Structure 1
Amino acid sequence: MNNYRTIPAAALRETAYELYADGQHGLMSMFANDERELNGNFAIYCLFSVGKKMQIIKAVLSENEELEFPSITPKISAAAWYEREIYDMFGLKPIGHPDLRPLVLHENWQTGIFPLRKDFHSKTPIPTAKKDFNMATVEGEGVFEVPVGPIHAGIIEPGHFRFSQAGEDIIRLDAKLFFLHRGIEKAIEGTPIERAFYRVERISGICTVAHSLSYCHAIESIAGVIVPPRAQYLRALVGELERLYNHVGDIGNLCAGMGFAVGIMAGARMKEDIMRVNEALTGHRFLRGMVVPGGVRLDINNQLTTEIIGMLNKLIPDFNEMIELFKGNDAFLNRVETTGIVPRQAALDLGLVGVGARASGVDVDIRRDFPYGCYSSLNFDVPVYHNGDVADRLWVRVDEVRQTVDLIRQILSQMPQGPLKVDIPAIKPYSSGFGWCESPQGNNIHWLMMGENNTVYRLYARAAAYPNWPALTVAAPGNIIPDFPLINKSYELSYACVDR
């Protein structure tokens, strides 16, 4: 996957708009790379889905020219965060971007220091800048602001939400994230790909398998190796277990947004049963230690197979009973129906993925659309709803739980025999490629450029949460603040996935 259409940066807007085709094709990701050591250029990569193919634009800027490029955000809203991050981390300025406030670095980072450039050392001390950060608000008689966060009750990670409100109604929401950005992409530069894997695996606990798979798929694509069939099925098994415990837990967590204790406890209990199986299978409740470059580290035996099937047999009747409780509860339905609507066009414009996209009528699933591993041999449906509200995001998850249970049964019944791993050979330096998978939150995409001796020259990791977070600013207006926990939990997005 390194067939790039290389263009000068000045032609980026025209070329991207042509590919975008008025929204018929989606922008899947956009990122930059410092390639001055290789060819004297910076590069901006744009990944588009064009039908059943992926098209990559590579726009180049010489270090001897003005480090700016025409923004594509005015027409492709999904590019807004990507371009702000490129400006923060590389100092490449998107001309015409409507909102160039810092995204990742916030107000305490010194102007003119760009941490993902190759000439920036990660241990360089950075004095605190203490600049102002202007939140987007609404002014007028009777309008007031409600700040929420960045520190929240419980153990969730920090995020700041600023509501502009008239009476009980939310008029506008502005969100500020990236409070715990860890610099993982910078930290693994020059690291052997096997050692870097362990940091990638820990980008986010709830997406352990997703990040592991995307990273390994990128390595294997560049190296041209085929993972053994048994390893492909074992990877799919842990990927679906990760989806299952997330969806079941997220459905219970949504009930917490309205204080529905029965649903909270039922979801937590069922999630615990799944995570105990995770630990029996991999030695870790978050499924760490299974996926490795070239295949998998652990095998499955008859006892574990029996334990997984037993868990599924117990789960489904309990799960169905919980869902029937929801459907028969008018108070519950009144809270979730027509709450937090994201229309289909907004979902397309923002490039939403996963549950958020499918609940708004966007029929996407990278397991089906760009199959990897053994998924082309498995049968499953992709549930799509059309109201784009909290209720439909709930029903998508409900349907996906049942699909996932069926997929796990298929995987176990079709599991082939054979080796678990192939060796990764020496890879040509500065070759690059993509890896992807469908995480519980949507498609997860990694891009990797190799360095010398099988080291990482540059890794870009785009989790599903990244394009989905901006949807909250569309979903919240028109609702009341007590509904925001419901709206937020209906997406249940990871903070850690963007704080990479």
Structure 2
Amino acid sequence: MSNPNWTQALRSSLSAAGVAVESDAAGDAISRWRVASEHWRTLAELALADSVRWSAGWAQQRAAGFVVHVLLEKHGVYLWAQTELGPAKPEVPSQAGVYPAANRSERHTQDMFGIQFVGHPDNRPWTRHKAWDKHQHPLCKDFPVEGRPETVTPPDMDYAFVKSHGAGTYEIPVGPVHAGIIEPGHFRFQAVGELILNLEERLGYVHKGIEKIAEGRDPPGLARLAGRVSGDTTVGHAWAACMAMERAAGVDIPPRAALIRGILAERERVANHLGDIGAICNDVAFTFAQIQFTRLREDWLRTQAAMFGHRLMMDCVVPGGVTSDLSAEQCQAMRVGIVKLRDELADLMTTLDLNSSLEDRLYTAGFLSEDIAAAYGTVGYVGRASGQDFDVRRDAAYPPYDAVGFKVALENQGDIASRFWVRYKEIIASMKLIEQFIDRLAPGALVGEWHIPAAGSRGLGIVDGWRGEIVSFVAFEAGNRIARFYPRDPSQLNWPALEKLVLNNIVPDFPVCNKSVNGSYSGNDL
């Protein structure tokens, strides 16, 4: 591994290219730079040359114009860079031509703020369907939270999908409305026979206005809102938002609260992986496994409802700590549940591993190479199944993970089977982590004293949710109120990978390819 202090080398490269870098006072362990807007693409080019990963991008409006932010990462070391734009004609060079991961993020910022990313390879709208006309930008301060809706919103009929050409090729439109209770998303296939030649996603049908309605909230109100960015990741998103607020306010959470947050997060990971493993099996008609894993997940969720008052543990993470404590009896019951689940999984996984028809559908299907996984910045089980050896809990450890050891699940075959087995290995690791956290629980406070941050205070929260790295940005205004909130769900990085891993698969394998990624529609569309 190269020198983890890669930011110094990048700064030297920028200096040699004539790019000046101004450092902000850190306030936390993340380096903060300011770069002139004309050098924004150069920053990306030199970072990519050193194999730095693009993690997140967002913008905010200030009285004097706009600020565009980017978060970069390598070896668990983060760089938070920003550039300032004037209010009259805000534009900045695009980083999407360097980092494919920046593509949809920049399009979202362009739709919401009107900031132009010069040289962007795809200037189509992303979040903007037909709810606003092209001169309206909902995240600008002068745009009302209720919007300016027309009596009837025009249908979104003119999105410029890639067209199929050539003899024998045809298109298959799927969605945005699907069967069952799946969230809305449109998938446009080009195929020849049953072979998929191209897939294009069109998301953004569940836009909730999260970023807009966050403005003016107090910290507890923002924590509740963050827990609803994506319901299956309520703990992860609430933790990231609270961490961002706590860093902005200079608040340290009590050790017992950190341990309980860890228990909540790992239980969330186990519950979702159990559901996903069963769903993957169901998509290849192995219904027995789906029934068994659904049963195990249900038992796990009922325990959570009994101990934390909510099956998904919603609103348990609050600024400064947690709301729910654990008694000695509850800790013992949790240990018993882990032993039971571990035993049942051992039997079930043996059955699955010996099922040749299951292997035929999962192995080699939905292949995502290490190079493409790296180019798109994939995280969590999607990245780790394609050789991306990164986990925030280990590589940028935060309490309580900084005091325990665990093995990060890693595969490099990049197929559906790899994403299947990474999930299983993460369940095993999570159960061990929960046991370690229980062992370390000592009497103590659940919530630390809150310090009201000064106007302009900002913070980043970065945690490893069950889908992977979650990034939250929070900026405060006067009176302990939120000026800007931006949550980056792991799905924003993983959804584009689905378009690549389905290529040269057959159309009937799309459902299981899709489930092996299981991107959050809601988490992607704020």
Letter matched to residue 184 of structure 1: I
Quote the Cα distance in structure 1 between the aligned partners of 2:480 and 2:520: 30
CA contact (8 A) 2:32 2:79 kept: yes
The alignment partner of 1:78 has SS state of helix
Residue 107 of structure 1: CA displacement? 4.2
CA contact (8 A) 2:223 2:317 kept: no
Quote the Cα distance in structure 2 between the aligned partners of 1:92 and 1:152: 33
Segment drifting more, 307-316 vs 118-127: 118-127
Q: Which residue of 2 aligns with 1:455?
A: 481
Quote the Cα distance in structure 1 between the aligned partners of 2:197 and 2:159: 20
CA contact (8 A) 2:138 2:147 kept: no
1:158-177 to structure 2, matched below 5 A, reads 158-177=184-203
Residue 138 of structure 1: CA displacement? 2.3
Quote the Cα distance in structure 2 between the aligned partners of 1:93 and 1:320: 53
1:340-489 to structure 2, matched below 5 A, reads 340-489=366-515
Residue 288 of structure 1: CA displacement? 1.3
Residue 33 of structure 1: CA displacement? 0.7
Q: 1:59 to 1:129 in 2, by over 3 A?
A: farther
Q: Which residue of 1 aligns with 2:72?
A: 48
Residue 126 of structure 1: CA displacement? 2.8
The alignment partner of 1:28 has SS state of strand
Segment drifting more, 98-107 vs 483-492: 98-107
Q: Which residue of 1 aligns with 2:11?
A: none
Is 1:498 paired with 2:520? no
Q: Deviations over 1:50-86 (max 9, x none)?
A: 333211111111113x321111111211111111111
Long gaps (5+) in structure 2: 1-25
Quote the Cα distance in structure 1 between the aligned partners of 2:501 and 2:216: 41
CA contact (8 A) 2:44 2:98 kept: no
Q: Deviations over 1:77-121 (max 9, x none)?
A: 111111111111111111111112111112453111111111111
How well do the aligned residues superpose, as a CA RMSD in angstroms? 1.3
Give 1:246's match in structure 2, choosing from 258, 272, 290.
272
Give 1:9's match in structure 2, choosing from 8, 26, 37.
37
CA contact (8 A) 1:84 1:103 kept: yes
Segment drifting more, 196-205 vs 172-181: 196-205
Letter matched to residue 56 of structure 1: W
Quote the Cα distance in structure 2 between the aligned partners of 1:381 and 1:77: 30
Q: Which residue of 2 aligns with 1:153?
A: 179
The alignment partner of 1:457 has SS state of strand
Q: Deviations over 1:129-182 (max 9, x none)?
A: 556112123211100011111111111110110110001100000011110100
Quote the Cα distance in structure 1 between the aligned partners of 2:515 and 2:349: 17
1:269-348 to structure 2, matched below 5 A, reads 269-348=295-374
Letter matched to residue 214 of structure 2: I
Quote the Cα distance in structure 2 between the aligned partners of 1:192 and 1:419: 22
1:32-111 to structure 2, matched below 5 A, reads 32-35=59-62, 37=63, 40-64=64-88, 66-111=89-134
Runs of 4+ in structure 1 deviating by more than 3 angstroms, as ranges, are 128-131
Quote the Cα distance in structure 1 between the aligned partners of 2:415 and 2:188: 21
Letter matched to residue 145 of structure 1: E
Quote the Cα distance in structure 1 between the aligned partners of 2:179 and 2:220: 37
What is the number of equivalent residue pairs in this alignment?
495
CA contact (8 A) 1:383 1:399 kept: yes
Q: Which residue of 1 aligns with 2:23?
A: none
CA contact (8 A) 1:472 1:488 kept: yes
Long gaps (5+) in structure 1: none
Give 2:169's match in structure 1, choosing from 143, 163, 173.
143
Quote the Cα distance in structure 2 between the aligned partners of 1:83 and 1:499: 13
Residue 416 of structure 1: CA displacement? 2.1
Residue 431 of structure 1: CA displacement? 1.1
CA contact (8 A) 2:250 2:451 kept: no
Quote the Cα distance in structure 1 between the aligned partners of 2:357 and 2:74: 43
Residue 208 of structure 1: CA displacement? 0.6
CA contact (8 A) 2:249 2:457 kept: no
% of aligned pairs identical?
A: 34
Residue 4 of structure 1: CA displacement? 2.7
Is 1:216 paired with 2:218? no
Q: Deviations over 1:302-329 (max 9, x none)?
A: 2211221121111111112111111101
Quote the Cα distance in structure 2 between the aligned partners of 1:483 and 1:277: 35
Q: Which residue of 2 aligns with 1:28?
A: 55
Give 1:234's match in structure 2, choosing from 254, 260, 271.
260
Q: Deviations over 1:381-410 (max 9, x none)?
A: 001111110000001011111111111111
CA contact (8 A) 1:231 1:421 kept: yes
CA contact (8 A) 1:107 1:133 kept: no
The alignment partner of 1:162 has SS state of strand
Give 1:115's match in structure 2, choosing from 132, 138, 155.
138
The alignment partner of 1:45 has SS state of strand
Q: Deviations over 1:254-279 (max 9, x none)?
A: 11211111110011000011101111
Residue 499 of structure 1: CA displacement? 2.5
Residue 124 of structure 1: CA displacement? 2.9
Segment drifting more, 265-274 vs 52-61: 52-61
CA contact (8 A) 1:283 1:289 kept: no
Residue 220 of structure 1: CA displacement? 0.8
Q: Deviations over 1:401-448 (max 9, x none)?
A: 111111111111121221111121111111111001111100111000
Q: Which residue of 2 aligns with 1:184?
A: 210
The alignment partner of 1:450 has SS state of strand
CA contact (8 A) 1:137 1:163 kept: no
Quote the Cα distance in structure 2 between the aligned partners of 1:436 and 1:209: 13
CA contact (8 A) 2:473 2:486 kept: yes
CA contact (8 A) 2:223 2:315 kept: no
CA contact (8 A) 2:384 2:411 kept: yes
Quote the Cα distance in structure 2 between the aligned partners of 1:371 and 1:68: 36
Query: TM-score of the superposition, structure 1-length normalised?
Result: 0.97
Quote the Cα distance in structure 2 between the aligned partners of 1:351 and 1:90: 24
The alignment partner of 1:446 has SS state of strand
